[in-house]
Structure 1
Amino acid sequence: MGQPSNPDAVDQVRSSGIGVVDKSVAILAAAAAAPRTLADLVDATDLPRATAHRLAVALEVHRLLTRDAEGRFLLGPRVGELAAALPDPLVVAAGAVLAWVRDESGESAQLYRRDGNERVCIAAAERTHGLRTTVPVGTRLPLTAGSGAQVICAFSDPATLDGLLDGAAFTDRTLAEVRRRGWAQSIAQREAGVASVSAPVLAADVRLLAAVSVSGPIERLGRSPGSRIGPILVAGARRIASAVGV
Protein backbone atom coordinates (compact mmCIF):
# COMPACT_ATOMS: atom_id res chain seq x y z
CA MET A 1 0.00 0.00 0.00
CA GLY A 2 2.97 2.23 0.55
CA GLN A 3 3.53 4.88 3.20
CA PRO A 4 0.58 7.30 3.38
CA SER A 5 1.43 10.90 2.57
CA ASN A 6 -1.47 12.11 4.71
CA PRO A 7 -0.32 12.40 8.36
CA ASP A 8 -3.86 11.51 9.48
CA ALA A 9 -3.99 8.38 7.34
CA VAL A 10 -4.58 4.97 8.92
CA ASP A 11 -0.90 4.08 8.75
CA GLN A 12 -0.90 1.56 11.58
CA VAL A 13 -1.96 -1.18 9.15
CA ARG A 14 1.06 -3.38 8.49
CA SER A 15 1.91 -4.57 5.01
CA SER A 16 1.26 -8.24 4.27
CA GLY A 17 2.47 -8.04 0.71
CA ILE A 18 -1.09 -8.64 -0.52
CA GLY A 19 -2.18 -5.20 -1.63
CA VAL A 20 -5.94 -5.70 -1.81
CA VAL A 21 -5.97 -7.19 1.70
CA ASP A 22 -3.91 -4.34 3.15
CA LYS A 23 -6.14 -1.75 1.51
CA SER A 24 -9.30 -3.47 2.74
CA VAL A 25 -7.94 -3.65 6.28
CA ALA A 26 -7.05 0.05 6.11
CA ILE A 27 -10.65 0.86 5.15
CA LEU A 28 -12.00 -1.29 7.97
CA ALA A 29 -9.65 0.36 10.45
CA ALA A 30 -10.77 3.80 9.30
CA ALA A 31 -14.45 2.88 9.60
CA ALA A 32 -13.86 1.41 13.06
CA ALA A 33 -12.44 4.71 14.29
CA ALA A 34 -15.48 6.77 13.21
CA PRO A 35 -18.26 6.79 10.60
CA ARG A 36 -16.68 7.86 7.29
CA THR A 37 -17.91 9.36 4.07
CA LEU A 38 -16.12 8.19 0.94
CA ALA A 39 -14.04 11.39 1.05
CA ASP A 40 -13.17 10.62 4.68
CA LEU A 41 -12.05 7.12 3.72
CA VAL A 42 -9.82 8.54 1.01
CA ASP A 43 -8.27 10.99 3.47
CA ALA A 44 -7.83 8.37 6.20
CA THR A 45 -6.33 5.65 3.99
CA ASP A 46 -4.57 7.71 1.31
CA LEU A 47 -6.15 5.43 -1.30
CA PRO A 48 -7.35 6.66 -4.70
CA ARG A 49 -11.04 7.52 -4.60
CA ALA A 50 -12.01 4.84 -7.11
CA THR A 51 -10.10 2.17 -5.16
CA ALA A 52 -11.58 3.22 -1.81
CA HIS A 53 -15.08 3.19 -3.29
CA ARG A 54 -14.67 -0.18 -4.96
CA LEU A 55 -13.33 -1.87 -1.82
CA ALA A 56 -15.81 -0.20 0.54
CA VAL A 57 -18.74 -1.35 -1.59
CA ALA A 58 -17.29 -4.88 -1.76
CA LEU A 59 -16.90 -4.93 2.03
CA GLU A 60 -20.48 -3.71 2.32
CA VAL A 61 -21.68 -6.64 0.21
CA HIS A 62 -20.05 -8.98 2.72
CA ARG A 63 -21.63 -7.00 5.61
CA LEU A 64 -18.21 -6.07 6.97
CA LEU A 65 -19.20 -2.47 6.36
CA THR A 66 -22.61 -0.85 6.46
CA ARG A 67 -23.88 2.73 6.11
CA ASP A 68 -25.69 4.99 8.52
CA ALA A 69 -28.63 7.26 7.72
CA GLU A 70 -26.22 9.86 6.35
CA GLY A 71 -24.58 7.37 4.00
CA ARG A 72 -21.34 7.16 5.98
CA PHE A 73 -19.46 3.87 6.17
CA LEU A 74 -19.09 2.10 9.52
CA LEU A 75 -18.38 -1.43 10.66
CA GLY A 76 -21.09 -3.87 9.65
CA PRO A 77 -22.83 -6.64 11.60
CA ARG A 78 -20.63 -9.38 10.19
CA VAL A 79 -17.69 -8.06 12.25
CA GLY A 80 -19.63 -8.65 15.46
CA GLU A 81 -20.83 -12.03 14.29
CA LEU A 82 -17.28 -13.15 13.60
CA ALA A 83 -16.09 -11.84 16.97
CA ALA A 84 -18.97 -13.57 18.76
CA ALA A 85 -17.90 -16.88 17.24
CA LEU A 86 -14.58 -16.68 19.09
CA PRO A 87 -14.30 -18.06 22.63
CA ASP A 88 -14.65 -15.32 25.23
CA PRO A 89 -11.32 -15.38 27.14
CA LEU A 90 -13.03 -14.18 30.30
CA VAL A 91 -15.57 -17.01 30.16
CA VAL A 92 -12.84 -19.55 29.38
CA ALA A 93 -10.74 -18.32 32.31
CA ALA A 94 -13.72 -18.32 34.67
CA GLY A 95 -14.92 -21.87 34.08
CA ALA A 96 -12.68 -23.78 36.48
CA VAL A 97 -12.59 -20.91 38.96
CA LEU A 98 -16.38 -20.71 39.24
CA ALA A 99 -16.47 -24.44 39.95
CA TRP A 100 -13.88 -23.90 42.69
CA VAL A 101 -15.87 -21.00 44.16
CA ARG A 102 -19.02 -23.15 44.13
CA ASP A 103 -17.27 -26.02 45.87
CA GLU A 104 -15.58 -23.79 48.46
CA SER A 105 -18.70 -21.79 49.25
CA GLY A 106 -21.27 -24.53 48.77
CA GLU A 107 -23.39 -22.17 46.69
CA SER A 108 -24.10 -21.47 43.01
CA ALA A 109 -21.53 -19.16 41.42
CA GLN A 110 -21.99 -16.65 38.60
CA LEU A 111 -19.90 -14.24 36.55
CA TYR A 112 -21.50 -10.94 35.50
CA ARG A 113 -20.35 -8.40 32.95
CA ARG A 114 -21.73 -4.90 32.66
CA ASP A 115 -23.74 -4.05 29.55
CA GLY A 116 -24.96 -0.46 29.73
CA ASN A 117 -27.31 -0.13 32.69
CA GLU A 118 -27.59 -3.89 33.15
CA ARG A 119 -25.40 -6.78 34.15
CA VAL A 120 -25.39 -9.99 32.14
CA CYS A 121 -24.60 -13.46 33.47
CA ILE A 122 -21.90 -14.75 31.13
CA ALA A 123 -20.91 -17.91 33.03
CA ALA A 124 -22.22 -19.96 35.95
CA ALA A 125 -21.50 -23.04 38.06
CA GLU A 126 -24.66 -24.36 39.72
CA ARG A 127 -25.06 -26.55 42.79
CA THR A 128 -25.79 -30.10 41.76
CA HIS A 129 -28.14 -30.85 44.65
CA GLY A 130 -30.31 -29.18 47.28
CA LEU A 131 -32.12 -25.87 47.13
CA ARG A 132 -30.35 -23.49 44.77
CA THR A 133 -30.81 -20.15 43.07
CA THR A 134 -30.39 -20.63 39.35
CA VAL A 135 -29.23 -17.72 37.19
CA PRO A 136 -29.08 -18.98 33.59
CA VAL A 137 -26.29 -17.71 31.37
CA GLY A 138 -27.64 -14.77 29.39
CA THR A 139 -29.86 -13.50 32.22
CA ARG A 140 -29.96 -9.70 32.39
CA LEU A 141 -30.32 -8.02 35.76
CA PRO A 142 -30.48 -4.34 36.75
CA LEU A 143 -27.56 -2.41 38.21
CA THR A 144 -29.77 -1.03 40.95
CA ALA A 145 -29.98 -4.02 43.33
CA GLY A 146 -27.95 -7.01 44.44
CA SER A 147 -24.33 -7.53 45.44
CA GLY A 148 -23.25 -7.95 41.81
CA ALA A 149 -24.76 -4.57 40.98
CA GLN A 150 -23.01 -3.01 43.99
CA VAL A 151 -19.62 -4.31 42.86
CA ILE A 152 -20.07 -3.21 39.26
CA CYS A 153 -21.19 0.27 40.32
CA ALA A 154 -18.46 0.58 42.96
CA PHE A 155 -15.68 -0.16 40.49
CA SER A 156 -17.10 1.52 37.37
CA ASP A 157 -16.17 5.00 36.16
CA PRO A 158 -18.51 7.31 38.13
CA ALA A 159 -19.19 9.30 34.96
CA THR A 160 -20.90 6.24 33.45
CA LEU A 161 -23.28 5.97 36.41
CA ASP A 162 -24.86 9.40 36.00
CA GLY A 163 -28.45 9.14 37.22
CA LEU A 164 -28.30 5.36 37.56
CA LEU A 165 -28.08 5.34 41.36
CA ASP A 166 -31.12 7.57 41.84
CA GLY A 167 -33.37 4.54 42.10
CA ALA A 168 -30.83 2.07 43.51
CA ALA A 169 -31.39 -0.04 46.60
CA PHE A 170 -27.96 1.03 47.87
CA THR A 171 -26.16 4.32 48.41
CA ASP A 172 -22.85 5.97 47.58
CA ARG A 173 -21.81 5.16 51.14
CA THR A 174 -22.47 1.48 50.48
CA LEU A 175 -20.29 1.62 47.36
CA ALA A 176 -17.46 3.29 49.27
CA GLU A 177 -17.58 0.43 51.78
CA VAL A 178 -17.52 -2.12 48.93
CA ARG A 179 -14.39 -0.50 47.51
CA ARG A 180 -12.76 -0.48 50.95
CA ARG A 181 -13.28 -4.15 51.79
CA GLY A 182 -13.22 -5.55 48.25
CA TRP A 183 -16.57 -7.38 48.25
CA ALA A 184 -20.30 -6.72 48.56
CA GLN A 185 -23.22 -8.57 50.08
CA SER A 186 -26.97 -8.23 49.74
CA ILE A 187 -29.82 -9.74 51.71
CA ALA A 188 -33.14 -9.95 49.85
CA GLN A 189 -32.14 -6.78 48.01
CA ARG A 190 -32.99 -7.98 44.52
CA GLU A 191 -35.14 -11.01 45.27
CA ALA A 192 -37.02 -11.99 48.43
CA GLY A 193 -35.40 -14.87 50.30
CA VAL A 194 -32.12 -14.68 48.39
CA ALA A 195 -28.71 -13.56 49.67
CA SER A 196 -25.60 -12.98 47.55
CA VAL A 197 -21.96 -11.98 47.82
CA SER A 198 -19.82 -10.57 45.00
CA ALA A 199 -16.27 -9.39 44.31
CA PRO A 200 -14.75 -7.50 41.37
CA VAL A 201 -12.54 -9.08 38.73
CA LEU A 202 -10.01 -6.32 38.05
CA ALA A 203 -7.34 -5.97 35.37
CA ALA A 204 -3.82 -4.95 36.34
CA ASP A 205 -4.74 -1.32 35.67
CA VAL A 206 -7.69 -1.69 38.11
CA ARG A 207 -10.16 -1.65 35.22
CA LEU A 208 -13.32 -3.61 36.02
CA LEU A 209 -13.69 -6.76 33.92
CA ALA A 210 -16.58 -8.48 35.68
CA ALA A 211 -18.14 -9.37 39.01
CA VAL A 212 -17.95 -12.89 40.41
CA SER A 213 -20.83 -13.83 42.71
CA VAL A 214 -22.43 -16.55 44.75
CA SER A 215 -26.12 -16.64 45.62
CA GLY A 216 -28.40 -18.83 47.66
CA PRO A 217 -31.30 -18.87 50.09
CA ILE A 218 -30.96 -16.64 53.15
CA GLU A 219 -31.73 -19.52 55.49
CA ARG A 220 -28.56 -21.26 54.31
CA LEU A 221 -26.24 -18.28 53.74
CA GLY A 222 -27.38 -16.33 56.79
CA ARG A 223 -27.65 -12.56 57.09
CA SER A 224 -23.90 -11.84 57.09
CA PRO A 225 -22.54 -14.16 54.39
CA GLY A 226 -19.81 -11.76 53.27
CA SER A 227 -17.46 -12.45 56.16
CA ARG A 228 -17.33 -16.14 55.20
CA ILE A 229 -17.69 -16.03 51.43
CA GLY A 230 -16.11 -12.66 50.61
CA PRO A 231 -12.50 -13.95 50.91
CA ILE A 232 -13.33 -16.93 48.68
CA LEU A 233 -14.68 -14.61 46.00
CA VAL A 234 -11.75 -12.20 46.26
CA ALA A 235 -9.37 -15.13 45.73
CA GLY A 236 -11.47 -16.43 42.85
CA ALA A 237 -11.59 -13.00 41.20
CA ARG A 238 -7.80 -12.77 41.34
CA ARG A 239 -7.47 -16.21 39.78
CA ILE A 240 -9.75 -15.22 36.91
CA ALA A 241 -7.86 -11.97 36.28
CA SER A 242 -4.54 -13.84 36.34
CA ALA A 243 -5.82 -16.46 33.89
CA VAL A 244 -7.09 -13.76 31.50
CA GLY A 245 -3.67 -12.13 31.69
CA VAL A 246 -4.72 -8.47 31.60
Structure 2
Amino acid sequence: MTTPTRPIASLEGVASAGRALTLLSAFRKGDDAVSLAELTARTGLVKTTIMRLAISLEEHGYLVRLPDGSYRLGVELFRLGSVYQQSFRIEAHVMPALEKLVAATGESASLYVRSGNQRLCLYRADSPHTLRLHVRQGDLRPMDDSATAQVLRLFEDVAHRGETGVSLPLYTSGATDPHIASMAVPVFGPGESFAGALSLTGPVTRFDREAANRAARTVLTVAADLTRALGGTPHPSGQQS
Protein backbone atom coordinates (compact mmCIF):
# COMPACT_ATOMS: atom_id res chain seq x y z
CA MET A 1 0.00 0.00 0.00
CA THR A 2 1.38 3.36 -0.98
CA THR A 3 1.85 5.83 1.86
CA PRO A 4 0.21 9.16 1.05
CA THR A 5 2.77 11.96 0.98
CA ARG A 6 0.73 14.99 -0.04
CA PRO A 7 -0.78 15.72 3.42
CA ILE A 8 2.69 15.50 5.00
CA ALA A 9 4.18 17.79 2.38
CA SER A 10 1.29 20.17 2.85
CA LEU A 11 1.83 20.29 6.61
CA GLU A 12 5.53 20.89 6.12
CA GLY A 13 4.74 23.78 3.80
CA VAL A 14 2.39 25.33 6.36
CA ALA A 15 5.04 24.98 9.08
CA SER A 16 7.64 26.59 6.85
CA ALA A 17 5.31 29.49 6.05
CA GLY A 18 4.63 29.90 9.76
CA ARG A 19 8.33 30.09 10.55
CA ALA A 20 8.83 32.67 7.78
CA LEU A 21 6.06 34.82 9.23
CA THR A 22 7.55 34.43 12.70
CA LEU A 23 10.84 35.70 11.33
CA LEU A 24 9.26 38.77 9.71
CA SER A 25 7.24 39.51 12.83
CA ALA A 26 10.44 39.57 14.88
CA PHE A 27 11.31 42.99 13.48
CA ARG A 28 10.23 45.79 15.79
CA LYS A 29 9.57 49.49 15.53
CA GLY A 30 12.88 51.36 15.50
CA ASP A 31 14.90 48.47 14.11
CA ASP A 32 17.35 49.37 11.36
CA ALA A 33 19.16 46.08 10.97
CA VAL A 34 18.94 43.03 13.22
CA SER A 35 21.73 40.53 13.74
CA LEU A 36 21.31 36.82 13.22
CA ALA A 37 21.91 36.23 16.92
CA GLU A 38 19.18 38.70 17.87
CA LEU A 39 16.72 37.14 15.43
CA THR A 40 17.48 33.75 16.97
CA ALA A 41 16.75 35.15 20.44
CA ARG A 42 13.52 36.82 19.34
CA THR A 43 12.08 33.92 17.37
CA GLY A 44 13.43 30.82 19.09
CA LEU A 45 14.45 29.50 15.68
CA VAL A 46 17.92 28.08 15.16
CA LYS A 47 20.37 30.07 13.05
CA THR A 48 20.44 27.57 10.19
CA THR A 49 16.65 27.72 9.89
CA ILE A 50 16.69 31.52 9.87
CA MET A 51 19.39 31.59 7.20
CA ARG A 52 17.46 29.13 5.03
CA LEU A 53 14.23 31.11 5.37
CA ALA A 54 16.05 34.37 4.76
CA ILE A 55 17.29 33.18 1.37
CA SER A 56 13.72 32.69 0.14
CA LEU A 57 12.52 35.91 1.72
CA GLU A 58 15.39 37.81 0.08
CA GLU A 59 14.49 36.38 -3.33
CA HIS A 60 10.96 37.76 -2.98
CA GLY A 61 12.02 41.16 -1.62
CA TYR A 62 10.87 40.69 1.99
CA LEU A 63 14.35 40.76 3.56
CA VAL A 64 17.73 42.26 2.74
CA ARG A 65 20.97 40.73 4.01
CA LEU A 66 23.62 43.33 4.77
CA PRO A 67 27.41 42.85 4.36
CA ASP A 68 27.89 42.37 8.12
CA GLY A 69 25.42 39.45 8.13
CA SER A 70 22.52 41.34 9.71
CA TYR A 71 19.08 41.70 8.13
CA ARG A 72 16.60 44.47 7.46
CA LEU A 73 13.11 44.43 5.99
CA GLY A 74 12.79 44.62 2.21
CA VAL A 75 10.85 46.96 -0.06
CA GLU A 76 8.16 44.38 -0.85
CA LEU A 77 6.77 44.86 2.63
CA PHE A 78 6.55 48.60 1.99
CA ARG A 79 4.65 47.90 -1.22
CA LEU A 80 2.21 45.60 0.56
CA GLY A 81 1.79 48.21 3.30
CA SER A 82 0.87 50.80 0.70
CA VAL A 83 -1.63 48.42 -0.89
CA TYR A 84 -3.17 47.76 2.55
CA GLN A 85 -3.44 51.48 3.34
CA GLN A 86 -5.18 52.16 0.03
CA SER A 87 -7.64 49.32 0.51
CA PHE A 88 -8.25 49.93 4.22
CA ARG A 89 -11.68 51.43 4.88
CA ILE A 90 -11.80 52.95 8.35
CA GLU A 91 -15.58 53.27 8.13
CA ALA A 92 -15.91 49.49 7.96
CA HIS A 93 -14.38 49.33 11.46
CA VAL A 94 -15.72 52.51 13.03
CA MET A 95 -19.42 52.19 12.23
CA PRO A 96 -19.85 48.70 13.74
CA ALA A 97 -18.10 49.99 16.89
CA LEU A 98 -20.46 52.97 17.13
CA GLU A 99 -23.50 50.79 16.51
CA LYS A 100 -22.34 48.41 19.23
CA LEU A 101 -22.13 51.31 21.69
CA VAL A 102 -25.61 52.52 20.77
CA ALA A 103 -27.06 49.04 21.17
CA ALA A 104 -25.41 48.60 24.58
CA THR A 105 -26.12 52.03 26.04
CA GLY A 106 -29.04 53.54 24.14
CA GLU A 107 -27.08 56.77 23.63
CA SER A 108 -25.61 58.37 20.50
CA ALA A 109 -22.03 57.42 19.61
CA SER A 110 -19.53 59.39 17.49
CA LEU A 111 -15.91 59.56 16.43
CA TYR A 112 -14.48 63.09 16.50
CA VAL A 113 -11.19 64.55 15.30
CA ARG A 114 -9.81 68.01 15.83
CA SER A 115 -10.11 70.56 13.02
CA GLY A 116 -8.27 73.71 14.06
CA ASN A 117 -10.25 75.37 16.84
CA GLN A 118 -13.19 73.05 16.33
CA ARG A 119 -13.94 69.35 16.48
CA LEU A 120 -15.29 67.49 13.49
CA CYS A 121 -17.79 64.63 13.72
CA LEU A 122 -16.38 62.04 11.32
CA TYR A 123 -18.80 59.19 12.04
CA ARG A 124 -22.07 59.03 13.94
CA ALA A 125 -24.64 56.47 15.07
CA ASP A 126 -27.77 57.99 16.60
CA SER A 127 -29.59 56.94 19.73
CA PRO A 128 -32.98 55.31 19.08
CA HIS A 129 -34.52 57.83 21.50
CA THR A 130 -36.20 60.92 20.05
CA LEU A 131 -34.66 63.01 22.84
CA ARG A 132 -30.99 63.25 21.82
CA LEU A 133 -28.35 65.69 20.62
CA HIS A 134 -28.87 66.07 16.88
CA VAL A 135 -25.43 66.00 15.25
CA ARG A 136 -24.63 64.77 11.74
CA GLN A 137 -21.44 63.44 10.19
CA GLY A 138 -19.44 66.41 8.99
CA ASP A 139 -20.79 68.81 11.63
CA LEU A 140 -18.32 71.03 13.47
CA ARG A 141 -18.60 71.55 17.22
CA PRO A 142 -16.61 73.88 19.49
CA MET A 143 -13.41 72.82 21.27
CA ASP A 144 -15.08 73.46 24.60
CA ASP A 145 -14.79 71.73 27.98
CA SER A 146 -16.81 68.68 26.99
CA ALA A 147 -15.31 65.23 27.51
CA THR A 148 -14.87 64.84 23.76
CA ALA A 149 -12.92 68.08 23.32
CA GLN A 150 -10.80 67.31 26.39
CA VAL A 151 -9.77 63.93 24.96
CA LEU A 152 -8.86 65.57 21.65
CA ARG A 153 -6.62 68.07 23.43
CA LEU A 154 -5.07 65.59 25.83
CA PHE A 155 -4.11 62.87 23.37
CA GLU A 156 -3.22 64.68 20.13
CA ASP A 157 0.33 65.33 21.38
CA VAL A 158 2.20 61.99 21.33
CA ALA A 159 5.10 63.33 23.40
CA HIS A 160 2.91 64.25 26.38
CA ARG A 161 0.31 61.49 26.42
CA GLY A 162 1.94 59.81 29.39
CA GLU A 163 1.64 63.02 31.40
CA THR A 164 -2.13 63.37 31.16
CA GLY A 165 -2.77 61.68 34.49
CA VAL A 166 -6.49 61.38 33.71
CA SER A 167 -8.82 58.52 34.49
CA LEU A 168 -10.70 57.25 31.47
CA PRO A 169 -13.33 57.49 30.22
CA LEU A 170 -13.84 61.23 30.78
CA TYR A 171 -17.36 62.33 31.65
CA THR A 172 -18.84 65.82 31.62
CA SER A 173 -22.33 67.16 32.09
CA GLY A 174 -23.53 70.51 30.77
CA ALA A 175 -20.18 71.56 29.31
CA THR A 176 -21.54 72.57 25.90
CA ASP A 177 -25.24 72.58 26.58
CA PRO A 178 -26.79 72.44 30.08
CA HIS A 179 -29.02 69.61 28.88
CA ILE A 180 -26.30 67.37 27.37
CA ALA A 181 -23.80 64.98 28.98
CA SER A 182 -20.91 63.26 27.23
CA MET A 183 -18.32 60.56 27.79
CA ALA A 184 -15.18 60.08 25.69
CA VAL A 185 -12.05 57.95 25.29
CA PRO A 186 -9.13 58.05 22.82
CA VAL A 187 -8.74 55.73 19.84
CA PHE A 188 -5.34 55.09 18.25
CA GLY A 189 -4.03 53.89 14.91
CA PRO A 190 -0.68 52.56 13.63
CA GLY A 191 2.55 53.96 15.02
CA GLU A 192 0.87 55.55 18.06
CA SER A 193 -1.11 57.88 15.79
CA PHE A 194 -4.16 59.41 17.42
CA ALA A 195 -7.25 58.40 15.45
CA GLY A 196 -9.76 60.49 17.39
CA ALA A 197 -12.13 60.64 20.33
CA LEU A 198 -14.83 57.99 20.66
CA SER A 199 -17.75 59.57 22.46
CA LEU A 200 -21.21 58.93 23.84
CA THR A 201 -23.71 61.76 24.26
CA GLY A 202 -27.15 61.92 25.81
CA PRO A 203 -29.51 64.16 27.76
CA VAL A 204 -28.44 64.76 31.36
CA THR A 205 -31.81 63.47 32.55
CA ARG A 206 -30.97 60.03 31.12
CA PHE A 207 -27.18 59.96 30.77
CA ASP A 208 -26.32 60.99 34.32
CA ARG A 209 -23.24 59.98 36.31
CA GLU A 210 -24.77 56.66 37.36
CA ALA A 211 -25.65 55.75 33.76
CA ALA A 212 -22.16 56.82 32.65
CA ASN A 213 -20.56 54.58 35.26
CA ARG A 214 -22.58 51.63 33.96
CA ALA A 215 -21.47 52.39 30.39
CA ALA A 216 -17.79 52.99 31.20
CA ARG A 217 -16.52 49.42 30.81
CA THR A 218 -18.35 48.98 27.52
CA VAL A 219 -16.94 52.24 26.15
CA LEU A 220 -13.39 51.28 27.14
CA THR A 221 -13.74 47.80 25.65
CA VAL A 222 -15.16 49.06 22.35
CA ALA A 223 -12.43 51.73 22.12
CA ALA A 224 -9.72 49.12 22.74
CA ASP A 225 -11.20 46.76 20.14
CA LEU A 226 -11.47 49.57 17.59
CA THR A 227 -7.89 50.65 18.27
CA ARG A 228 -6.66 47.11 17.61
CA ALA A 229 -8.75 46.94 14.42
CA LEU A 230 -7.08 50.16 13.24
CA GLY A 231 -3.63 48.75 13.95
CA GLY A 232 -2.96 50.66 17.16
CA THR A 233 -2.18 49.86 20.77
CA PRO A 234 -5.02 50.51 23.24
CA HIS A 235 -4.62 52.96 26.09
CA PRO A 236 -3.92 51.06 29.35
CA SER A 237 -7.32 52.09 30.70
CA GLY A 238 -8.97 50.15 27.90
CA GLN A 239 -7.21 46.86 28.50
CA GLN A 240 -9.52 45.60 31.18
CA SER A 241 -10.71 42.06 31.51
**What's the TM-score, normalizing by structure 1?**
0.53
Q: 1:176 to 1:244 in 2, by over 3 A?
A: closer
Helix, strand or coil: the match of 1:134?
coil
Maintained 8 Å contact 1:108/1:216: yes
Aligned to 2:189: 203
Aligned to 1:187: 173
Aligned to 2:89: 89
Q: 1:150 to 1:87 in 2, by over 3 A?
A: farther
Helix, strand or coil: the match of 2:131?
coil
Distance in 1 (alpha carbons) for counterparts of 2:219 and 2:96: 13
Maintained 8 Å contact 1:184/1:230: no
Following TM superposition, by how much is the alpha carbon of 1:123 offset from its aligned partner in structure 2, in angstroms?
0.6
**What's the TM-score, normalizing by structure 2?**
0.54
Per mean C-alpha deviation after superposition, the further-off stretch among 87-96 and 134-143 is: 87-96
Distance in 1 (alpha carbons) for counterparts of 2:113 and 2:133: 19
Counterparts in 2 of 1:157-236, with a 5 A limit? 157=157, 179-203=165-189, 205-236=191-222
Counterparts in 2 of 1:135-146, with a 5 A limit? 135-146=135-146
Following TM superposition, by how much is the alpha carbon of 1:226 offset from its aligned partner in structure 2, in angstroms?
3.7
Q: 1:122 to 1:244 in 2, by over 3 A?
A: same
**Unpaired stretches in structure 1, ≥5 consecutive residues:** 1-85, 161-174
Moved segments of 4+, more than 4 Å: 175-179
Distance in 2 (alpha carbons) for counterparts of 1:188 and 1:115: 22
Helix, strand or coil: the match of 2:220?
helix
Aligned to 1:123: 123
CA RMSD of aligned residues (A): 2.8
Following TM superposition, by how much is the alpha carbon of 1:129 offset from its aligned partner in structure 2, in angstroms?
3.3
Aligned to 1:152: 152
Maintained 8 Å contact 1:108/1:132: yes
Percent of aligned positions that are identical: 27
Aligned residues: 147
Aligned to 1:240: 226
**Unpaired stretches in structure 2, ≥5 consecutive residues:** 1-85, 233-241
Aligned to 2:13: none
Maintained 8 Å contact 2:121/2:138: yes
